[in-house]
Chains A and B, each alone.
Chain A
């Protein structure tokens, strides 16, 4: 895999970059990019993530920025901080911040419902608008959005998450069309079940139930954040320059059908 070979490493911003898939992406981008990792609240965890990256890649500049990304205005704050702390403008943006708040649509408080869509879709778009402006000037850019197989396959209690993720895929296609001529690619990744803090509770439930979801995944196991990170790294490389506007599923075959039933 070839990668940008400038003397100074380009800058990659990873929202939610200190945990889960975001951290998996950080570890895979660290050899070739300087990193900005955003986190919402857990400073200790962020410092731990920073240390784990620095241990492996001491040359890579890693900047931690505490910034919640719940609404569009949070993106303005984030980019003000990036401007203060970094000499470079971002060449890569990985939008992986976001939490689950499942609940049946009929009974969930609408504010809570809307907050999930705000966080996963609207805040993501706002961050992207800041980043894509810098990339447009630089005539090179990579944007990776995190969708989910939930965008296309329904799960009770995830109307908010599914709506946001389906929105992400439509957003990805359209923006790709608008900026492709400037050397900017924008793609989405749709993971299946990945072992992250976000899915920890779910994984424990599966372990203690007889549903045995793991048996429904043809690969026979949940995925690892680094495996999603490797796909992020590929999409950020020059080798992937011709891939844009698409959603790539990474789910061990889970969404192919029901291998058991």
Chain B
């Protein structure tokens, strides 16, 4: 087995995923940053790591397409014989009111946000040894109402529950499963909100720390969760939102 620890980061080339990927690379992991479509962002991420002399490889694949998913897994298995960390940053969704969501919208959102990581964990579990870590990224929409967020919110609720069950089942094997729950992070995903600008200002106004959450804020907490110091934290959701959700 190779010496260097290996991390797989889904949605690892943009937004929070990019910060997490670069953070893990700087911590000494060989990082595979998975991405779906955006080659440009992948190149930027790879170049940023290269400039610092860190081991980071962007791998393209579709986590929701059965054959392409298999091809991606096969490719990764040729590149590594160990997996120490999996971070699920890939997420997508349709921004609509619940009543306006078609079953297809909802299924597509769940495909990437929930089912994809379920399959990734199942595929790589045989390569994960005691001390390995799995981290999911959820949002306050998993437990709270956010306008136009019914699809993503419900998928995040499902993700949190799925991860609690994984956490309980994998803890005896020495594998810790947890989630981070960032506040509003200005990523490209936010550009899709129909009410982006008013929401951003309202969020800042309602956040005790007085600012939005950054990808680096999230990445630093992920670094802690994958460290040996956090080994007894099992099945928890760590909120990283500047205190936004303290108030009703």
Contacts and interface: CB of A to CB of B under 8 A. Distances in A.
A153 interface: yes
Interface in A145-171: 149, 153-155
B202 interface: yes
Nearest to A251: B248
Interface stretch (B84-92, B102-110, B143-151, B169-177): B143-151
A254 to B, nearest CB: 6
Given A256-B145, A258-B145, A259-B145, A154 B202 contact: no
Nearest to A150: B248
Contacts of A6: none
A19 B146 CA distance: 36
A106 B202 CA distance: 27
A153 B202 contact: no
A67 interface: no
A255 B140 CA distance: 13
B145 A257 contact: yes
Given A261-B199, A261-B203, A154 B145 contact: no
B247 A259 contact: no
A111 interface: no
Contacts of A153: 246-248
Chain B interface residue number, banded: 10 to 19
Interface string A225-261: 0000000000000000000000000000111111111
Contacts of A254: 248
B121 interface: no
Interface residues of A, number: 14
A90 B129 CA distance: 60
Contacts of B144: 256-258
B202 A261 contact: yes
A100 to B, nearest CB: 16
A192 B246 CA distance: 15
B247 A257 contact: no
Question: Most chain-B CB neighbours within 10 Å: which of A153, A255, A258?
Answer: A258
A261 B149 CA distance: 12
Contacts, number: 34
Interface string B186-217: 00000000000001001100100000000000
Contacts of B206: 258, 261
Interface in B139-191: 140-141, 144-147
Contacts of A154: 246-247
Nearest to A217: B248
Contacts of A192: 248
Contacts of A253: 145
A261 B145 CA distance: 10
B246 A257 contact: no
Nearest to B145: A257
A54 B206 CA distance: 47
Contacts of B141: 257
A259 B147 contact: yes
Interface string A194-211: 000000000000000000
Contacts of B145: 253, 256-259
B147 A260 contact: yes
Interface string B35-63: 00000000000000000000000000000
A159 to B, nearest CB: 12
Contacts of B248: 149, 153, 155, 192, 254-255
Nearest to A256: B145
A256 B143 CA distance: 8
17 contacts: A149-B248, A153-B247, A153-B248, A154-B246, A254-B248, A255-B248, A257-B141, A257-B146, A258-B144, A258-B145, A258-B147, A259-B145, A259-B147, A260-B147, A261-B147, A261-B202, A261-B206
Interface of B: 140-141, 144-147, 199, 202-203, 206, 246-248
Interface of A: 149, 153-155, 192, 253-261
Closest 8 CB pairs of A and B: A257-B145, A153-B248, A257-B144, A261-B202, A154-B246, A256-B145, A255-B248, A154-B247
Given A258-B145, A258-B147, 4 more contacts: A155-B247, A254-B248, A257-B141, A260-B147
